[in-house]
Structure 1
Amino acid sequence: MRRSEFLRAVDDEFGGRASALLNDLVLGAVGGRTSAQALADGVPPRDIWLALCAQTDVPDDRRHGVGRLEPRGR
């Protein structure tokens, strides 16, 4: 998962709460940091995404493959 895919996935899943969750919610699974801090510290976006999903009870079927853009047609 790329950083851009992570940010898109967070926005798609949490909408208007995305910014607050990224900056305020402390995630134990990434060392007691917020998502924004973890990204800045180099934690892989996928690890942060999965920690955020676990902390906020996102169902398993909405955790995988999100954030990707549809391939462009030629």
Structure 2
Amino acid sequence: MRLTEFWARMDEHLGPAYARTWAETQVVKGLDGRTVVEALADGEHAKMVWRAVWAHLNLPASER
């Protein structure tokens, strides 16, 4: 997954006005207690980060 697809999914589920703020402030357990922005900055693959966000937000399986 490319970062552009990752951010498009974030925008779709959280709204373009809120997705970046959420990614900067929300600590996600599946990311070892990091935020999305921190995990991506640490070099985590966007697909792995999306899966953690997907689980955290309890999104349907079709969105995985």
**Same fold (TM > 0.5):** yes
For 1:53, the aligned partner's letter is: W
Instruction: Give RMSD over aligned pairs.
Output: 1.1
Runs of 4+ aligned residues of structure 1 deviating over 6 Å after TM superposition are none
Q: Larger RCO: Structure 1 or Structure 2 (Cα < 8 Å, ≥ 6 residues apart)?
A: 1
More helix by share: 2
The reply to whether residue 34 of structure 1 matches residue 38 of structure 2 is no
Aligned partners of 2:29 and 2:18: how far apart in 1?
19
Any unmatched runs of 5+ in structure 1? 64-74
Deviation at 1:48, TM superposition (A): 0.6
TM-score by length of 1: 0.76
Tell me what 1:5 maps to: 5
Task: Tell me how many residue pairs correspond in the alignment.
Answer: 63
Deviation at 1:36, TM superposition (A): 0.5
Q: Which has the larger radius of gyration?
A: 1
1:8-65 CA distances to partner (integer Å, 9 max, x unpaired)? 11111211331222111111212211000101110000111010111111111122xx
